[in-house]
Amino acid sequence: MRRIEPAGAVVGHIAVPGDKSISHRAVLLGAVAEGETRVEGFGRSADTEATVAAARALGAQVEEEDVDRLVLRGRGLRGLAEPRGPIDCGNAGTLLRLACGLLAGQEGRRYELTGDASLAARPMERVAEPLRGMGARVETTQGGAPVTVEGVASLRAIDCRLPVASAQVKSAVLLAGLSAAGRTTVVEPAPTRDHTELLLESAGARVRRRPTSVSVERAERLALGRVEVPGDFSAAAPFVVAATLLSGSELTIHGVGLNPRRTGLLDVLERMGARIAVYNRRRLGREPVGDLEVRSAPLVATTVTPSEVPLLIDELPLLALAAGFARGETVVRGVGELRTKESDRVESVTTALRAVGVRIASAGDRFRVRGVPSRPRGGGVDAAGDHRIAMLGAVAGLVSREGVELDDPDVVGVSFPGFFDVLATIARRG
């Protein structure tokens, strides 16, 4: 248990760990690239450490030069080894799903991918099915993990239309597409994060991108060289919301990834009245980056549509908290995918926010939040094994009147081990 005291404001300059999605991808692609791949700004966390361990188990060499600097020696696209035992993906859905795609074309080798109880309960048929359509041999356990992949020599390119907007499923199909004869195309119901596509382009793969579809052709070799990982927008988001809600706040977050497929929260908060400025826009590789300067602002309610949801999928819990302060009723439609995350986040967000006094209701795939421009009371929040709920509970504590007693706070280490230290440096007593 950890007690989060109410804060008067959040003030200062911070940086956040490297992007988790990009860190996973850089390590997985580094494992199949030719020669050396240097990953700088690697976002070290329990999830990404599982990916480093997986890369090693698959025969790649990974040297850890520093906490955030790795040097990988890859095995070539179809040269991954068969590990001695199962690959433990821990809590990391991105690792498990992307690995299925990468392993599908490793001829003659067999892999078992396991994870913790949360991961075992998450849907894996959504990845296995399209991969089977390519000729891959992928078996799930009652739809979830453990998942076994038996690598085959010849995968077929497919045109597939995904029923759900999922960057993980899209990425798995594209990675398998690198070993399939012909051109593999994935059509998404709505655009999702495109880090895989951007890294594959950097690595020399033939990628064709359109607003809602992407194609990749069979490749013989990838070479990444150097990957500079931007700060994780999803790790910056709790602080963006805290600074917006606490009057008198002035917070700068340096070097944050601003890929437009990730920053839906900024667009939604801005239309609610938030004051967020972006400075020092630049690129790291193909990824846009900038410094965010956030000042507090009164908010008004808004409506979020299903096509916006993938652009802020991991930030929806925080948006629901912000909506609790926005004058009027905020409706977020199309949040059904949240039920498949590290917890059923439709339920866990509703339970956590109600417990602190936010007037939120959920039904089916919708949230409704009645906002009032004053602080909620506070109370007890159980993160229950979900890192994003732990960070939500912490921000709720800062912006509450009486604080929050947070159960299972250490689960933040899944994506952001230093979260509470950063929080302590910026929180000013009221």
- Which lies closer to ligand S3P via its Cβ, residue 168 or residue 179? 168
Nearest approach, Cβ of residue 28 and ligand S3P (Å): 11
194 contacts ligand S3P (rule: CB under 6 A):
no
Residue of 291, 314, 382, 408 with catalytic role = 314
DSSP symbols for 46-64: HHHHHHHHHHHHTT-EEEE
314 contacts ligand S3P (rule: CB under 6 A):
yes
Strands 226-228 and 2-4: unpaired
Q: Going by C-beta distance under 8 Å and a sequence separation of 6 or more, which residues neighbour residue 365?
A: 306, 333, 334, 335, 336, 346
Nearest approach, Cβ of residue 171 and ligand S3P (Å): 6
Could you tell me if 4 and 392 are in contact, meaning their C-beta atoms sit under 8 angstroms apart? no
d(Cα 318, Cα 353) in Å, to the nearest integer?
A: 10
18: β partners: 231
Could you tell me if 256 and 292 are in contact, meaning their C-beta atoms sit under 8 angstroms apart? yes
409: β partners: none
21 contacts ligand S3P (rule: CB under 6 A):
yes
387 contacts ligand S3P (rule: CB under 6 A):
no
d(Cα 421, Cα 40) in Å, to the nearest integer?
A: 22
- Rg value, the chain, Cα: 21
166 contacts ligand S3P (rule: CB under 6 A):
yes
Which of these, 207, 223, 318, lies nearest to 272 by C-alpha position?
A: 318
SS3 percent helix, strand, coil of the chain, rounded to 5, is 35, 30, 35
Stretch that binds ligand S3P, among 161-169, 213-221, 353-361, 366-374 (CB under 6 A): 161-169
Nearest approach, Cβ of residue 342 and ligand S3P (Å): 8
410 noted as active-site residue = no
Stretch that binds ligand S3P, among 35-43, 165-173, 225-233, 396-404 (CB under 6 A): 165-173
* Total chain residues near ligand S3P (CB under 6 A): 10
193 contacts ligand S3P (rule: CB under 6 A):
yes
One-letter amino acid for residue 406 of the chain: L
Nearest approach, Cβ of residue 281 and ligand S3P (Å): 23
Binding residue for ligand S3P, selected from 103, 167, 246, 309, defined by CB under 6 A: 167
Where in 337-366 is the site for ligand S3P (CB under 6 A)? 337
168 contacts ligand S3P (rule: CB under 6 A):
yes
Stretch that binds ligand S3P, among 29-37, 145-153, 167-175, 179-187 (CB under 6 A): 167-175
Nearest approach, Cβ of residue 391 and ligand S3P (Å): 13
Q: Where in the sequence numbering do the catalytic residues fall?
A: 314
